[in-house]
Amino acid sequence: MSRKPETMTLDPVTLEVIRNALPAVANEMAVDVVRTSYNMMIYEVRDFCTALLDPDGKLVAQNVGGVSHFVADLGAIIVDGMKKIGRDGFKPDDVIITNHQAAAGQHLNNIVIYMPYFHEGELVMFSVVRAHWIDIGGISTGFGAEANCTDPWMEGLQLDQLKIQEGGKTNELLLKIIRDNIRFPDASLGDMRSQIAGCKLAHRRLDELFKRFGRDTFLAAIGRIFDESEEKCRRVVRGIPDGVYEAEQFVDGGGIIGPPIRIHAKVTVDDGHMVIDLSGCSGERKAGINSRTYAGARVAYKALTAPQEAVNEGGFAALDVIIPEGNIMMARYPAPMSGWSLIVPTVVDVILLALAPAMREEIPAAHHGLLGGSVVFFGANEKGKPFIVQSLEGGGWGGRSHEDGASGSVSICQGDVRNGTIEGIEIQNPVIVEERGLRRDSGGAGRFRGGLGIDMRVRNLIEGRWNLHRPRRVDNPAWGLWKGEVGGTADYQLRLPEETDFRSVNESRYLVPVDSEVIVRTGGGGGWGDPLERDAARVREDVVEGFVSAKKARESYGVVLDEASLALDAAATEALRASMRARPA
């Protein structure tokens, strides 16, 4: 996108109006998508993002709360589209649909709809909506096939920069191919129309902005906004001591995935510039746990530098990310990517862990590190109509230097994604949510404890299939910092009608009879600081509230409570803590 030289004089008031107008356009797109979509994953859970990008693939604006780990990959879609379609191949009112993993680098359910925007015949912008469809064929139903998928053809339909509308005219043949190959065509194609409506709304708003400010002023303002965003981030990074910082952790392996996945981060800070090198991570796998994304590095950098600022390309100009081809996060097509997002939150945590020695007071302990506990149950009701239950249940975040971690929250990679409401789930689907509550003792002990995970117990009222994928942070739970303890781990548990106890399950498309019950259990966050330094009265309060058991209060925090009244025994607590401190490390 060409702009006038940066020497062009910009009225500061005009600059501020445009600075706020750009994310406002993306936010209004998001409202439109929420109001018109068919799929609970979009209108309730909000697994989508809306954005404006220039023809070079630079991010101009993204909606507030849009899925964070989408922030790195929309530009790749536009660059790929410009290469395959060509600048002259785009026409007004074209609508492009794509999800192809060679460029998108994600599971196929994440469908991108985008439209070119022209001002006086010049291509100057693209409006983009990426949203999670509940099905895209193959074994993609729900949250994709996870790691069990061995290639993208098994996962579902691959749509590679195809015009679903050309000059406003629908490609009926392509539409029929999609409809005939997905299980929920009414919902998914309704979502597609919602995405198109969001893109068209952006064009109306851009028309207003270009008319009001003129092309040169408007594009020059975008350039200035990029520059100022870059400088704000550089100032934050200059506050970090220059040096090279490294850390590593692991994501669980097992089964088709193979050995544990190494996540290694090397962070170099040099006078306001940061390099995040992820070359030390494991290579790509034959299971669907690969991705092709810079999301982990970009989300971590954004969280460190300007978490409250509107997101745009300038906010990443002072960051270099190194991920070589063949890395598990830069996998080469057709490496399967159905579970692409499983390791990304852990990548973010490891980058932060690397910087913990340099930013002791700013870096939290690890959070649950998963994209939530996925609730996926599907089948056909008594009338033969297909249904699907979907929700994402959050877990615990890590404690930090001044407060406990948040409980029941989705991962750092998910923006404003939230769980589905119990009422919405039960009204639309043949299930009963028997329980949704915080898990006692799931937060890692610390001076500031980790947030709690969740137990969600669901009973199905009809025969159907559950996706119960083994969580990938069981063997490697959320770590603590500065003597803080690890958080509790996640699980999927099942009890069939004839069974007395729940048992752990790791199955896809698991067929169960009526009145089976599933517990979707999410992990807790790690603790920050020595648990013996936590105020004893706060530990007692946690016990009273049901967050911590009296047993854990004694064993981890050295706090003694009366069994009946839960009154704090100050003398016994002081003595127990003294003896615990005297134990060998």
- Is the distance from CB of 523 to CB of 368 less than 8 angstroms? yes
Q: Tell me the pLDDT band of 86, cut-offs 50, 70 and 90.
A: very high
- Whole-number Å distance between alpha carbons of 243 and 562: 50
- pLDDT single digits (tens) 326-350: 999 999 999 999 999 899 999 999 9
Mean pLDDT computed over 496-512: 94
pLDDT at 66: 79
Share of the chain above pLDDT 90, in %: 86
192 residue type, one letter: M
pLDDT at 4: 45
pLDDT at 146: 62
Q: Tell me the pLDDT band of 224, cut-offs 50, 70 and 90.
A: very high
**513 vs 418: which has the higher pLDDT:** 513
- Whole-number Å distance between alpha carbons of 550 and 543: 6
Given a cut of 80, whether residue 8 has pLDDT beyond it is no
Given a cut of 80, whether residue 71 has pLDDT beyond it is no
Mean pLDDT computed over 198-219: 97
- Whole-number Å distance between alpha carbons of 545 and 532: 20
- Is the distance from CB of 463 to CB of 513 less than 8 angstroms? yes
- pLDDT single digits (tens) 18-36: 999 999 999 999 999 999 9
Q: Are strands 386-393 and 373-380 parallel, antiparallel or unpaired?
A: antiparallel
DSSP SS3 for 461: coil
Residue 208 sits at φ, ψ, to 5 deg, of -65, -40
Among candidates 83, 113, 86, 116, which has minimal Cα distance to 99?
Answer: 113
Residue 316, CB-side half-sphere exposure with 13 Å CA sphere:
24
Mean pLDDT computed over 491-504: 97
Given a cut of 70, whether residue 2 has pLDDT beyond it is no
Mean pLDDT computed over 515-521: 97
Which residue(s) pair with 224 in the sheet?
Answer: none
Angle at 197 between CA 194 and CA 202, to 5 degrees: 130
**Could you tell me the two tokens for 547?**
């967050």
pLDDT at 380: 92
- pLDDT single digits (tens) 397-448: 999 999 999 999 999 988 888 888 999 999 989 999 999 999 999 999 999 9
**139 vs 203: which has the higher pLDDT:** 203
Mean pLDDT computed over 285-310: 94
Orientation of helix 295-305 relative to helix 215-238, angle to 10°? 80
- Whole-number Å distance between alpha carbons of 375 and 143: 9
Total-model pTM: 0.95
Mean pLDDT computed over 52-62: 97
Lowest mean pLDDT among 121-125, 241-245, 427-431: 427-431
- Whole-number Å distance between alpha carbons of 106 and 288: 10
Residue 516, CB-side half-sphere exposure with 13 Å CA sphere:
17
**DSSP structure string for 57-88:** --EEEE-TT--GGGTTTHHHHHHHHHHHH-GG
Mean pLDDT computed over 487-505: 96
Given a cut of 60, whether residue 6 has pLDDT beyond it is no
pLDDT at 5: 44
Q: Tell me the pLDDT band of 3, cut-offs 50, 70 and 90.
A: very low
DSSP SS3 for 565: coil
Among candidates 464, 467, 457, 468, which has minimal Cα distance to 514?
Answer: 464
pLDDT at 147: 65
- pLDDT single digits (tens) 257-275: 999 999 999 999 999 999 9
Mean pLDDT computed over 110-117: 98
Mean pLDDT computed over 553-560: 98
**DSSP structure string for 500-554:** SS-EE--EEEEEE-TT-EEEEE-PPPPPBS-GGGS-HHHHHHHHHHTSS-HHHHH
Given a cut of 80, whether residue 7 has pLDDT beyond it is no
Q: Tell me the pLDDT band of 314, cut-offs 50, 70 and 90.
A: very high
Q: What is the DSSP letter of 389?
A: E
